[in-house]
Structure 1
Amino acid sequence: HLACGALGSGECDLALAGGVTLILGSRTMRSFARMGMLSPTGRCRTFDAAADGFVRGEGCGVVVLKRLADALRDGDRVLAVIRGSAVNQDGRSDGLAAPSAAAQQALFREALERAGTDPQDVGMIETHGTGTPIGDPIEFSSLAQVYGVGRDRCALGSVKTNLGHLEPASGVSGLIKAVLCLQRGLVPPNLHFTEWNPAIAPEGTRFFVPTRLTEWPTGSSPRLAAVSSFGYSGPNAPVVLEPAPVAASSGRPVPRRPAG
């Protein structure tokens, strides 16, 4: 979000944005274990009735960002376009595992407004989806209030079921997954999902959890995806994405059109 702002204001012409996490000591792990936040089964079961906590993981992810016009001019291979993003802070909440639903909903709407996007056109949401019995229902409820009604189905993904919770790198890992889904027009399955958490009410929404490789759910063009991402200290940072222009995805320079 900060990098896009700097590019838009002309502060820079190229930016690197990413996150990394390594588990180099036991202190944080012991703290999470004492708080009962970690899955005793070692499985991230996002939105599932058997969700029993999150699984820590390690990783690094970085994306290169440029203004689209500059990338097209330079013949860069564009992977996706960030349509809009937003950031806010939860303020007071009931704890680390219980974020503010009101703050989440307000920010989803702000990111969509900046993207100039109708929430009904979003076919896939890469959720924060930690697999905690309290956090998952709150996130689902927030998403349902903003994205839940529409003419087509919408897939809820969580790469944490594959990689675990990468903590400072979890947002960029979700972003990278959403970009790959947009490129291919396919949504991979979430692991460890059998039945909905009983605290979640999917009836009346257009949401589903993919349990097999799934074609893109909406017929709208261009395809649109959203990323829902939160942080321990209360920040929320959603992003709305669309695929790269067809010519740009190959890295071939795009001829300039005459003015007028």
Structure 2
Amino acid sequence: MLPGKLAYEHDLRGPSLYLSTTCSSFGYMLNIAAHFLRTSDLDNVLLLSSNMELPESSPALSQIISKDNSCRPFTLHRDGSIAGRGYGGVLLSTSTSTQFSSNKSCEIELLDCSVSTAGRERASFGAPSRSAQLSNIRSSYRRAGISPAACVYTEAHGTGTVIGDAIEARVLREVFETVREPVWIGSAKEHVGHLDATAGLASICRVVNSFSGGLIPTSLPRNVASQDFDLLGPSLRLVPQSVEWPDSAVTGVHMVGFSGASAHAIFRMRKETV
């Protein structure tokens, strides 16, 4: 009902739908929106997301809440996530130019967003699937027509849980096993908490906004100092302070749903002075 109400109030045309795959919802929205833009006469697709629920409760998040009310992804001290609340949206367009200020513009291109569901190929319902995530990320790079070695930074799902981070790190190590230099990784959840169905939007906004600002998204200093090198291996590293983006970069955003549905989006970003 809500998408239809918004379409009515703002006189929006074209497909109008509601979608939920839990934590990977925004990735699925990107996938469907990109399909609409490729196969129809639409020029723009508006994607909105919110987890501002009343009362404030989420069955999925209740199982992964940190004991010390902090989220420390990919570190030796990871023990869960923290609940976050938020809302927002993006406009996906056939035009790739996105203006950020009076003298800076940034070209953001969605190269691919692959989605898949694990089915029963996991330990239990709610448990992440290594094989499903791995095949999905590899499919995304293959469909984008680029090598994983081109990736500068990956915004991970990074819930800060012992099992979830271990599986995701193993997946990313396999994806980037041939890189010469470590790929930077991080997670918005250590800063804003887990936004459930809106988590993917938070991750994408973090990447795009940081590119406009010039610096790759940083991890908290205490998390950088305690990153689990055995978990990350030689191919992954958390981001310390003041690491600059190159003028042109490929980046990935990984989203894993409690429902078993995962998504991986790949963007090419380029700065230009106007």
Distance 1:145 1:47 in 2: 16
Q: Which amino acid aligns with 1:84?
A: D
Question: What is the rounded CA distance, in whole Å, between the counterparts of 1:96 and 1:53 in structure 2?
Answer: 18
Unpaired segments ≥5 residues, structure 1: 251-260
**RMSD in angstroms over aligned alpha carbons?**
2.5
CA contact 1:87–1:107 (8 Å) conserved in 2: yes
CA distance in 2, matches of 1:105, 1:144: 10
1:55-109 residue CA offsets vs partner (Å, 9 max, x unmatched): 010001211011137989xxxx665111111110011222466311111111101
Deviation (angstroms), 1:136:
0.3
Identity of aligned residues (%): 26
Equivalent residue number for residue 210 of structure 1: 239
Which residue of structure 1 aligns with residue 252 of structure 2?
A: 226
Q: Distance in 2 between matches of 1:71 and 1:215?
A: 20
Once residues 183 and 160 of structure 1 are traced to their aligned partners in structure 2, the CA distance between those partners, rounded to angstroms, is: 20
TM-score, normalised by the number of residues in structure 2: 0.78
CA contact (8 A) 2:49 2:89 kept: yes
Retained in 2: the 8 A contact 1:80–1:241? yes
Partner amino acid, structure 2, of 1:243: M
CA distance in 1: counterparts of 2:269 and 2:39, whole angstroms? 23
Aligned to 1:137: 166
> Is 1:48 the counterpart of 2:78 in the alignment?
no
Query: Deviations for 1:184-205, whole angstroms, at most 9, x for unmatched residues?
Result: 442132124132348x5333x3
Q: C-alpha distance in 1, partners of 2:264/2:256? A: 8
| Structure 2: stretches of 5+ with no match in the other structure | 1-30, 100-104
Aligned equivalents of 1:173, 1:69: Cα separation in 2? 20
Cα distance in 2 for partners of 1:71, 1:156 equals 24
Kindly provide the CA deviation profile for residues 225-258 of structure 1, in whole angstroms up to 9, marking residues without a partner as x.
Answer: 10011111111111001114637xx5xxxxxxxx
Q: Give 2:152's aligned amino acid.
A: G
Could you give the per-residue CA deviations for residues 25-68 of structure 1, whole angstroms, max 9, x where no partner exists?
15536x754x4x21121101001111111101000121101113
Distance in 2 (CA, whole Å) between partners of 1:139 and 1:208 is 13
Aligned equivalent of 1:123, options 142, 146, 152: 152
Among 40, 46, 63, the alignment partner of 1:10 is 40
- Alignment length (residue pairs): 236
Mean CA deviation greater in 91-100 or 108-117: 91-100
Alpha-carbon distance between aligned partners in 2 of 1:85 and 1:122, rounded to the nearest angstrom: 15
> What's the CA shift for 1:170?
0.3
Q: 1:23 to 1:95 in 2, by over 3 A?
A: farther
Quick one: structure 1 residues 70 and 172, their matched pair in 2 at CA, closer, same or farther if it must change by over 3 Å? Answer: closer
Name the structure 2 match of 1:154.
Answer: 183
Q: Is the 8 A contact 2:134 2:171 kept in 1?
A: yes
* CA displacement, residues 123-167 of structure 1 (integer Å, 9 cap, x when unaligned): 100000011111001001001111233123311011111100011
Aligned partner of 1:43: which letter? S
* TM superposition outliers: structure 1 runs of 4+ over 6 Å: 69-72
Q: Which amino acid aligns with 2:226?
A: E
Matched residue, 1:196: 227
Q: 1: distance between equivalents of 2:88 and 2:206? A: 11
Where does residue 240 of structure 1 map in the other structure?
A: 266
* Other structure's SS at 2:266 match: strand
In structure 2, the residue matched to 1:60 is 87
Q: Which amino acid aligns with 1:207?
A: L
Q: Residue 131 of structure 2: which of 72, 80, 102 is its match?
A: 102
Distance, in Å, in 1 between the alignment partners of 2:39 and 2:266 is: 19
Residue 209 of structure 1: CA displacement? Answer: 0.4
Change beyond 3 A, Cα 1:160–1:127: same
